[in-house]
Structure 1
Amino acid sequence: MSPDQPAEQMSVAELAAYIDHSVLKPEFTVQDIAREVSNGVHFGCRTVCINPTAIETAAPLCEGTETGLCVVVDFPFGLSSTSSRLAQTRDVLAPGVTEVDIVANYGWLRSGRVDRVEQDLRAVAEVCHEAGVELKVILETDALTVDEVRAGAEAAIAAGADFIKTSTGFYTGTTQHEQTGASESMIATMLSVAAGRCKVKGSGSIRDRGHFLRLIDAGIDRMGIGYRSTPVVLGVEQDETPAGAGY
């Protein structure tokens, strides 16, 4: 989306509305999850992005706040069968869940099986939309050529995805690009392909405030920010007043 004002002039509350506060570390304890979800709520982030088993911890902490629950499905590989992905999706559609992030099968994209990707994603999108939940499709762009990213984005849009997204943040293979994750060039590519037909989420390698602000000015709709980086990109201290209280 095109912002109404330069990102540098936005309040903390306006900036926080761009953030899915990532709480996805598999080694997190229940106490770690509760702490970081509370921080996401404290800063007024649009959502906290969590694994399915964290719903029972996160939901009560987000209830009655402006921060929703974004739950990842078939993460981080995206290699389950469609029937399994549908079961996983239905399983996370709990009260308070506003968005689902799912990984496209990027092995299929690299194999040219774009039709299979579209068919698989359409089934998931239908389940989400029946529940009034938005679907973000992760393309794992570091593993793909630009042409494959474009093909994957078109498949996701045709399938009914509400967002196309760059990365899981967990990919450790050889990148196909000079820059990783939500680089400005990759976001420009995805915005160009989306062309207003769906929204664009960047994730991966957004760790400094300058990068964060430039992506907003470029027209990005949402960003997945690691739990340590949220206060950095917002330009606040960890213990400052919550974003909804005067920022």
Structure 2
Amino acid sequence: MDISAYIDYSLLKATSSERDVINLCHEAKLNNFYAVCINTAYVALAKQLLENTPVKIASVVGFPLGATSTPAKVYDANKAVEDGADEIEMVMNLGFLKSKNFVSVLKDIIDVKMAINNTPLKVIIEISELNKNEIIKACNICLDAHVDIIKTSTGFSKNGATLTATKIIKKTVKDQAKIMVSGGIEDFDTAVKYLEAGADRIGTSTNIKSPNAPLQVRNAKIYKKYLENNQKETVEIKQTIY
């Protein structure tokens, strides 16, 4: 199984440098990952690096706490899209959720979604901070807001994704929204388990490769050598003819 098309290759550390972002984009292109996920400050740079490639750019707003004001989230989301982001990830306001202020949670999401128009919106619900009923409620609010993707975790809290929570989310949303898991997914076998549990996308800062990746790289090198030799022979033939 090739999982490359399911992976969002993430770099969200505060200390991430421009060189780190350049390396991230290079690896994403090399491995045919679905997207890179970066902070808004580097969206414009990633746009240049990934021009004319199928790799998408996802950027985060209200990250990692979700406690910034709605206007701040809207501004950051708009700026990210303007700079070239293909998807926006916003963190749900968990304080509002815990306060049972569900109207404010919903408004926070809808305002961002309306601001970015047709750009896909992911909402991170941070499952490690929620009990089962709160996870279900958070998912239902996301469905009411017509969110495109529900994401389990920021990767900055106590824990990341769990198979149990993934199955709860899948049972709640069914096929009304896609599911993205992140946090602690660092190898091929673990990634496959989450996909089998209902996840549609994998967020990871680890360059996860399929078991046959070394063979694929080797074959690619052989084919490249073949093309080079073939091109060389063609040039020699033309020179002989003319």
CA displacement at 1:242 relative to structure 2: 11
- RMSD over equivalenced CA pairs, Å: 2.1
Cα distance in 1 for partners of 2:5, 2:123 equals 19
1:126 to 110, 114, 120: 114
Question: What's the counterpart of residue 235 of structure 2?
Answer: none
Question: What's the counterpart of residue 126 of structure 2?
Answer: 140
Question: What's the counterpart of residue 36 of structure 1?
Answer: 24
CA displacement at 1:221 relative to structure 2: 0.9
Q: 1:241 to 1:53 in 2, by over 3 A?
A: farther
1:202 to 178, 181, 194: 181
Question: What's the counterpart of residue 111 of structure 1?
Answer: 99
2:86 to 68, 83, 98: 98
Question: What's the counterpart of residue 207 of structure 2?
Answer: 230
List aligned pairs for 1:70-109, cutoff 5 A.
Answer: 70-94=58-82, 96-109=84-97
Instruction: Work out whether residues 69 and 96 of structure 1, in 8 Å CA contact, stay in contact via their aligned partners in 2.
Output: yes
- Using structure 2 for the length normalisation, give the TM-score: 0.85
Question: What's the counterpart of residue 50 of structure 1?
Answer: 38
List aligned pairs for 1:179-194, cutoff 5 A.
Answer: 180-194=159-173
CA displacement at 1:236 relative to structure 2: 3.6
Instruction: Work out whether residues 52 and 71 of structure 1, in 8 Å CA contact, stay in contact via their aligned partners in 2.
Output: yes
Q: 1:233 to 1:145 in 2, by over 3 A?
A: farther
Q: Which amino acid aligns with 2:149?
A: F
Structure 1: 4+ residue segments shifted above 6 A: none
Q: Percent identity?
A: 29
- Using structure 1 for the length normalisation, give the TM-score: 0.83
2:48 to 60, 77, 86: 60
Cα distance in 1 for partners of 2:161, 2:153 equals 7
Cα distance in 1 for partners of 2:15, 2:102 equals 34
When Rg is computed on C-alpha atoms for both structures, the one with the higher figure is: 2
CA displacement at 1:20 relative to structure 2: 0.6
Cα distance in 1 for partners of 2:167, 2:83 equals 34
Instruction: State the number of aligned residues.
Output: 220
List aligned pairs for 1:13-32, cutoff 5 A.
Answer: 15-32=3-20
Q: 1:100 to 1:197 in 2, by over 3 A?
A: same
Q: 1:86 to 1:95 in 2, by over 3 A?
A: closer
Cα distance in 1 for partners of 2:175, 2:80 equals 28
Instruction: Work out whether residues 4 and 209 of structure 2, in 8 Å CA contact, stay in contact via their aligned partners in 1.
Output: no
Q: 1:96 to 1:194 in 2, by over 3 A?
A: same
Compare the two structures and name the one with the higher helix fraction.
Answer: 2
